[in-house]
Amino acid sequence: MERISVIIPMHNAERFIRQCVDSVSCQTYRHLEIIIVDDGSTDRSMEICRMLQRDDGRIRLISQKNGGVSSARNRGMNAAKGKYLFFLDSDDAIHPRLLEELIEKAEAYGAGLAACDVQKLKNRRMNHKKDQTANVDGRDGWQISKSGAESEEWFQKKYFLNLTLIGGKLVRRDCIGALCFDEGLIRGEDTLFLYEFIRKQIRIAFLERKWYYYRIHAGSVTHSNKILVGNQFYEVSRRIRDREYARQNICFAMYWEKNLILQITQNYSILRSRKNRKECDRLREAAALEREHPLFRKLERNMKLLFYCCFDNYPFYPFVKKYISASRLLWTAYNNVRLWTAGEKERDSVGIITFHCADNYGAMLQAYGLKKYISDAGAQAHIVRYEPSFMTGRHWWFPYIPSGGILCRMRRSIGGWKTHLETGTGFFLLRAKMKRFRKEYLIGKGDRKLVSSWQLRGLAYQSYIVGSDQIWNPDVTIGLKSVYFGAFQNEYKKKVISYGASLGGEALAPQYEKQFSELVQHVDAVSLREADAVPYVQRLYQGKVETVLDPVFLLSGKCWKGVAKKPDRKHYILIYQTEQNQELIRFVQSLAADTGLPVVELQTGMGKIGKDFLPDYAVGPAEFLGYILQATYVVTNSFHAVAFSIIFEKKFLAFLYSKSGIRVRNVLRMSGLENRLYEKGKEGQIDADIDWDEVNRKIKEHVRFSEAFLKHNLPMLSDGE
Neighbours of 95 (CB within 10 A): 26
Is the CB of residue 686 less than 8 Å from the CB of residue 675? Answer: no
Q: For residue range 347-383, what is the model confidence (pLDDT) as tens digits?
A: 568 999 999 999 899 999 999 999 999 988 888 899 9
Q: What is the pLDDT of residue 444?
A: 81
What gap in Å lies between CA 604 and CA 580, rounded to an integer? 12
- Comparing C-alpha atoms, which of 630, 658, 656 is closest to residue 644? 630
**Stronger pLDDT, 633 or 227, i.e. the higher one:** 633
Look up the CATH superfamily of 557-690.
Answer: Glycogen Phosphorylase B; (3.40.50.2000)
Q: For residue range 71-84, what is the model confidence (pLDDT) as tens digits?
A: 999 999 999 999 99
DSSP SS3 for 118:
strand
Of the candidate ranges 443-457, 558-572, 623-637, the one whose mean pLDDT is the lowest? 443-457
Q: Give me the count of residues in the chain.
A: 721
Is the CB of residue 369 less than 8 Å from the CB of residue 644? Answer: no
What gap in Å lies between CA 445 and CA 591, rounded to an integer? 46
Strand segments, DSSP code E, in 578-619 are: 599-602, 614-616
CA–CA distances in Å: residue 166 to residues 73, 87, 119, 254, 382: 10, 6, 14, 23, 41
- Is 557-690 the same fold as 348-553? yes
Q: What is the DSSP letter of 448?
A: P
Q: For residue range 309-327, what is the model confidence (pLDDT) as tens digits?
A: 988 888 888 888 888 788 7
**Stronger pLDDT, 442 or 303, i.e. the higher one:** 442
Q: Is the model's pLDDT at 720 over the cut of 60? A: no
Is the CB of residue 111 less than 8 Å from the CB of residue 171? Answer: no
Q: Is the model's pLDDT at 604 over the cut of 60? A: yes
What is the pTM assigned to this prediction? 0.60
Q: For residue range 642-664, what is the model confidence (pLDDT) as tens digits?
A: 999 999 999 999 998 776 677 88
- Comparing C-alpha atoms, which of 391, 478, 468, 442 is closest to residue 667? 468
Mean pLDDT for the chain? 86
Q: What is the pLDDT of residue 336?
A: 62
Q: Can you tell me the mean pLDDT for 191-218?
A: 89
Q: Can you tell me the mean pLDDT for 511-535?
A: 90
What percentage of residues in the chain have a pLDDT greater than 70? 91
What gap in Å lies between CA 629 and CA 619, rounded to an integer? 14
**Stronger pLDDT, 399 or 383, i.e. the higher one:** 383
As beta bridge partners, residue 575 has 601, 635
379 phi and psi angles, rounded to 5 deg: -125, 160
Q: What is the pLDDT of residue 334?
A: 64
As beta bridge partners, residue 37 has 9, 62
Q: What is the pLDDT of residue 578?
A: 84
Domain 4-219, CATH 3.10.20.740 — does that match? no
Q: What is the pLDDT of residue 211?
A: 93
Neighbours of 411 (CB within 10 A): 12
Q: Can you tell me the mean pLDDT for 22-48?
A: 94
Beta strands 142-144 and 93-94 are: unpaired
The pLDDT-based confidence of 561 (bands split at 50, 70, 90) is: very high
Residues 6+ positions from 97 with CB-CB distance below 8 Å: 27, 28, 29, 138, 211
What gap in Å lies between CA 463 and CA 346, rounded to an integer? 9
**Stronger pLDDT, 563 or 302, i.e. the higher one:** 563
Q: Can you tell me the mean pLDDT for 193-205?
A: 91
Q: What is the pLDDT of residue 180?
A: 93
Q: What is the pLDDT of residue 138?
A: 44
CATH code, 348-553: 3.40.50
Q: What is the DSSP letter of 168?
A: T
Spans of all domains in the chain: 4-219, 227-329, 348-553, 557-690
Q: Is the model's pLDDT at 606 over the cut of 70? A: no
What gap in Å lies between CA 497 and CA 515, rounded to an integer? 18
Is the CB of residue 575 less than 8 Å from the CB of residue 613? Answer: yes
Q: What is the pLDDT of residue 326?
A: 83
Q: Is the model's pLDDT at 627 over the cut of 70? A: yes
Q: Can you tell me the mean pLDDT for 38-57?
A: 93
DSSP SS3 for 351:
strand
Q: Is the model's pLDDT at 134 over the cut of 60? A: no
Q: Can you tell me the mean pLDDT for 264-277?
A: 87
Q: Can you tell me the mean pLDDT for 488-506?
A: 87
The pLDDT-based confidence of 227 (bands split at 50, 70, 90) is: very low
The pLDDT-based confidence of 231 (bands split at 50, 70, 90) is: low
What gap in Å lies between CA 633 and CA 645, rounded to an integer? 9
Q: What is the DSSP letter of 157?
A: I
The pLDDT-based confidence of 137 (bands split at 50, 70, 90) is: very low
Q: What is the pLDDT of residue 505?
A: 84
Q: What is the pLDDT of residue 343?
A: 52
Is the CB of residue 471 less than 8 Å from the CB of residue 477? Answer: yes
Q: Is the model's pLDDT at 219 over the cut of 70? A: no
The pLDDT-based confidence of 229 (bands split at 50, 70, 90) is: low
Q: What is the DSSP letter of 186?
A: S
What gap in Å lies between CA 433 and CA 116, rounded to an integer? 53
**Stronger pLDDT, 49 or 187, i.e. the higher one:** 49
The pLDDT-based confidence of 418 (bands split at 50, 70, 90) is: confident
The pLDDT-based confidence of 136 (bands split at 50, 70, 90) is: very low
Of the candidate ranges 126-135, 261-270, 617-626, 649-658, the one whose mean pLDDT is the lowest? 126-135
Q: Can you tell me the mean pLDDT for 433-453?
A: 88
What gap in Å lies between CA 667 and CA 636, rounded to an integer? 14
